[in-house]
Structure 1
Amino acid sequence: MLLGWTLPQTSTGRSSTVSPPPWHYSGEVIAVEFRADPARVAALAPPGFEPEADGSCTFVFCDWCSAADSDPRTLADPARGQYREAFVIATGEFRGVRASRIPFIWVDSELSLLRGHIQGFPKQLGQIHMTRPISIGRGGVRLEPGASLGAHVSSFGRRLATARVELHEKVEIPPLALFAPPVHTRLFPSLSRPEPAVEEFSIGQVSNAAWADVWRGAGDLSFGESEYSELDQLAPTEIIAGWRLNLAFSVDGAVEFPMTSETALEQDREAV
C-alpha cells in the first residue's frame, strides 16, 4: 500500500512533499498599499468577484516560518519550513461578501509552491529579498521612526517588483487587505481532454490570526517588465501607505465549491 498526502508516495508516506493541514504561519511583513487602473484589476477577476471601484491593491512581501501538525519536520528543519514570498492582493467583494483575490505570487520554496497550488494560489518560483531589522549594532535598520526598509522580487533574472517603506509611526491596526479572505481558483489540467480535471473555487478556513509591532508610513512601489509575467499591468497609479508588521495565522482547511454553482452560495458566504 502506497501512502502520502501528495506525491511521491511510498510505503511509509515519509517522502510526500506536503502534509495535510492544519498549517501554521508566523512571519515578518513589508507591504505597500496602492491603487491601480480599475479596468486592469477587473480583467484579472474571476466570475463573481468584483474588485473595488478605485482599483485598491496591496503588494506584500513575507519572510515566513511555517509548521504542520502532521509533520514535525516542517518546524524542525529551517530548510523545509522557512521561506519568503511576494504577492499582490486585490480587494473587493465575492458574491456580495468582502473578499480578496491574489492574481500573482512568487515563492522560493518547493514546499510552499506545491502547498499553494493545492489551495489555489497561483504560485511561481522567484527570488525574494527583504530588509531584516536589527536590535543591536550598526549593521542594519532598526524599527523606529524614519527607518527605511526595502524589498524586491525577481524571476528568471527579471526584477518584477521593488518596494520601499519609510516608517513613521507605530499603530494598532494592520492593513485590512491582509484579512480579507482570498478567493482562490483550484485548477488542475486534464491530459486526456480539453476541459480541466479540476476547476473550482476555494476559500481557506483560517484561525488564530494575530499581529504585532505594526508600523505605518510612506511607501514606494514599482513594477518591472518581463515576458513571463503580466504583473506590470497592475502598475501603481497612486501610493496609499507603507507597512511593516509581524503576522501569524493557521490554515485549518478550506471550503471548495464549483465555480458555476449557485447552490454553494450560502456555503461560501459562511466561509468568507
Structure 2
Amino acid sequence: MSMAWTTPYSKSGRSALVPAGPWSYGMEAISVHAMLSGFEELLPENMESEGEGYVYFAEIISQSPNFPELNYEAPGLVQYRELAIFLKVKYGGRVLAYCPFMYVDNDVSLLRGFVAGFPKKLAVIDITREHPLLEQKKFGGVAMRGGYGLAKMVVEPMEEVESNPLDSFGSWMLYRFAEPMGVKEFVEIVPEVSYAKIERGNAELKLYSGINDELPVVKEILGGYRFSALLKIREIKKVQ
C-alpha cells in the first residue's frame, strides 16, 4: 500500500502532504445546536432544509498508523483547529448532515479534506484551552479569514448528557466540486464517533459573512455543548 494520498510525489511516499490513512481524530470541541436562516443559496440542487444546524469549534489531533512518526517528530503537521457548519437536510428521501463550510488552520488538514470533498478554507482560529489548575467556566471560539470575522461562539457547560445533536443528523453529505476538471459529485461520509464526555449548557453564537464567505445567519439557539470525542471514518462513498 502506498504511504501517500496526495502529491508531492516521491517513491517512498514520505514527501506527500497527506500521508495514507486510515486517519483518526481526537477532538476537544465546543458547539452550538441552532436554527439558521439565509442558507438557501448554499444548498445544491434537489436538497432541502428547514434550517436546523450545528456549528462547532474543535482542537484536533489526527493520527495515521501509516506514519505515526509525525505525531512526535513533527506534531504541528497533524494538530490543528477547525470550525465547521452543518445543516440537517433532506436529499434522495434521506435525512443527512450537509457541510457547506469548514475552516482549518493547517495545510495537511486542508488538502486531506479536499480529497474527500470537505469544503475547507484556511482561517485564523482561536479556542479556549482548559488547564487542570485553572477554573474555567466558559469556553469560546473565534475565527477570521482575509481580515474579516467568520464566527464567534461562547459555551457555558452546565450538565453532563449522553447525546450530541449532530449525531441525529445522519451521515455527512459533501458536494465535491472542481469545475476545471468537470468534478461535480456527492460524497457520503459515514462517521464513527465515541465520546469521553458530553456537556450541555448555555451558548452564544454569531456567524458573519465576508467578501468570500456567504455564511448563514443564526436565528435561534437550541443549546450549547462541550465534548471530547474520537472520530473515525467508517465509510466514504460517492452517491449516485
Q: TM-score, normalising length from structure 1? A: 0.81
Does 1:46 pair with 2:44? yes
The count of aligned residue pairs is 238
Does 1:227 pair with 2:225? no
- Report what 2:170 is aligned to: 180
- Match among 116, 121, 124 for residue 127 of structure 1: 124
Q: Return closer, same or farther for 1:168/1:205 CA change in 2, 3 Å cut-off.
A: closer
| In 1: Cα distance, 2:78 partner to 2:6 partner | 17
- Report what 1:11 is aligned to: 11
Give a deviation string over 1:87-126, Cα, whole Å, max 9, x none. 1110122212221111111100000000001111110000
When Rg is computed on C-alpha atoms for both structures, the one with the higher figure is 1
- Report what 1:267 is aligned to: none
- Tell me the C-alpha RMSD between the 2 structures: 2.0
Mapping of residues 28-177 of structure 1, within 5 Å: 28-37=28-37, 40-51=38-49, 53=50, 55-76=51-72, 77-136=74-133, 138=134, 141=136, 147-177=137-167
In structure 2, runs of 5+ residues without a counterpart are none
Contact 1:21 1:253 in 2 (8 A): no
Amino acid at match of 2:128: T
Percent of residue pairs identical: 29
Query: What is the CA distance between 1:183 and its match in structure 2?
Result: 0.8
Q: Return closer, same or farther for 1:177/1:62 CA change in 2, 3 Å cut-off.
A: same
* Bigger proportion of residues as strand: 2
Does 1:239 pair with 2:221? yes
Query: What is the CA distance between 1:81 and its match in structure 2?
Result: 1.0
- Match among 176, 191, 199 for residue 215 of structure 1: 199
Deviation >6 Å, runs of 4+:
none
Contact 1:33 1:239 in 2 (8 A): yes
Query: What is the CA distance between 1:7 and its match in structure 2?
Result: 0.9
SS of residue matched to 2:18: coil
SS of residue matched to 2:218: coil
